[in-house]
Amino acid sequence: MDLVINKIGLNGVIDIPSDKSISHRSIMFGAIAEGKTTIRNFLRGDDCLSTLKAFQDLGVKIEDDGEVITVHGNGFSGLKPAKQAIYVGNSGTTIRLIMGILAGTSFTTELFGDHSIAKRPMNRVMLPINQMGAVCTGHDGTEFPPLTVKGTEKLSPIHYQMPVASAQVKSAILFAALQAHGESVIVEKEKTRDHTEDMIRQFGGDISVSGKEIRISGPQKLVGQEVVVPGDISSAAFFLTAGLIIPDSKIILKNVGLNPTRTGIIDVIQQMGGKLLVQESGSEANKAGTLTVETSDLKGIEISGEIIPRLIDELPIIALLATQAEGTTIIRDAEELKVKETNRIDAVATELNKMGAKIEPTDDGLIIHGKTPLNGANVTSYGDHRIGMMLQIAALLVESGKVELDKAEAISVSYPRFFDDLTKLY
């Protein structure tokens, strides 16, 4: 599709779509809890709907009246064998987290997804889950989907030093540990988003976190709750960037989730000299707020180390932000970008360079030279929603030529109304 180009002066207010990570987990926790869970402000994007459908396939009654989703959970033991292989679509969160839940069942489940999922490594989850007593196997003996998970009701606890900084891996182990007999200890490489830990507590579970060490004993029973999903800062990131780099712009973003393990992009914007006002609201356990950004003069910085897990999904749009900053921005320690929906290191460099950026991919990140003008080009999302949205924001800077985006439909994975919200700001 042809993207909108050269829109000077983006102004207005946007209600950010619901948080993708919390939406996934709200269905999962409702399914394994006992009693009724109601979910408000659920993200009805393709990925989260894949999670909803997966648990319906596992025998969980889930109702959706268009406003509120109601999950009728019967505990872990209430899960039933699926009648056929479960399709997870493009959702890495679905397939990785559900492996931990299935690990403690008494049956075998097959999981498969689209062509992107078939290329995503699963050993990072399979290895610890298998150590606990389940049997997870990949396609033809590899670590890639389709997967088979043979559960066991006699899961053993685990002491696991995580080799990668991944909230998905951590969450899968936590779901398994809730069903294991004894205390499990997980030590993170770097602290990652902690929605799973928060929701274990919200649903009545017991978990202890001290720095990077997590302790959890099982088996535990969870109780159904009411969940109100805040806005997704990963979705907000695209309009934060637009407001900073498009001339004569001021954008107000409402109901943005401000969990401290997710707000690395706010720190980066402030370090780069961006004009950003944060007005917090919500409870301690469910922080949210209003973010206001204005066109700014930005400077290049280095982004590395422990902040990376706090902004891993925002790095593609941060790379675009850096193309409009004076000086060089260096992103390090982000090798996890290689195993997302696509290799985001290569995808960002390739597609933005087509448009005139000066970006060098490295083994673990990017070197971005700014400030560079952008021009029209034929680009692709590679089927990756975040690459697609990043390229549309980039197109707003183009003054000549046109930008044609292949595989624009991928954007519906996390932000179905993205183009409608953009139009509101013209």
- Does 356 carry a binding-site annotation? no
- Does 407 carry a binding-site annotation? no
Task: Pick the closest to residue 217 from 176, 163, 165 (CA basis).
Answer: 176
- Does 40 carry a binding-site annotation? no
Distance CA(422)–CA(135), nearest Å, equals 46
313 has catalytic annotation: yes
- Does 225 carry a binding-site annotation? no
- Does 166 carry a binding-site annotation? yes
Tally Cβ neighbours within 10 Å of residue 66: 6
Strands 108-112 and 86-87 turn out to be parallel
- Does 212 carry a binding-site annotation? no
- Does 92 carry a binding-site annotation? yes
Task: Pick the closest to residue 257 from 275, 283, 239 (CA basis).
Answer: 283
Contact 301, 328 (CB under 8 A): no
Per-residue tokens: 91: 């959702």
Give the dihedral of Cα atoms 124, 85, 414, 177; nearest 10 deg: -40
Full 3-state SS string of 289-354:
EEEEEECCCCECCEECHHHHHHCHHHHHHHHHHHHCCEEEEEECCCHHHHHCCCCHHHHHHHHHHH
- Does 113 carry a binding-site annotation? no
Contact 85, 139 (CB under 8 A): no
- Does 340 carry a binding-site annotation? yes
Per-residue tokens: 292: 């206001």
Q: What is the DSSP letter of 372?
A: -
Distance CA(130)–CA(283), nearest Å, equals 38
Helix (H, G, I), strand (E, B) or coil at 362: coil
Per-residue tokens: 340: 């997302």
- Does 133 carry a binding-site annotation? no
Distance CA(166)–CA(162), nearest Å, equals 8
Catalytic residue among 19, 47, 232, 313: 313
Contact 347, 312 (CB under 8 A): no
- Cis preceding linkage at 145, omega within 30: no
Tally Cβ neighbours within 10 Å of residue 365: 24
Distance CA(2)–CA(5), nearest Å, equals 9
Helix (H, G, I), strand (E, B) or coil at 135: strand
- Does 332 carry a binding-site annotation? no
Distance CA(315)–CA(94), nearest Å, equals 22
Q: Which residues are catalytic?
A: 313
Annotated binding site for phosphoenolpyruvate: 20, 92, 120, 168, 344, 386
Annotated binding site for 3-phosphoshikimate: 20-21, 25, 166, 168, 313, 340
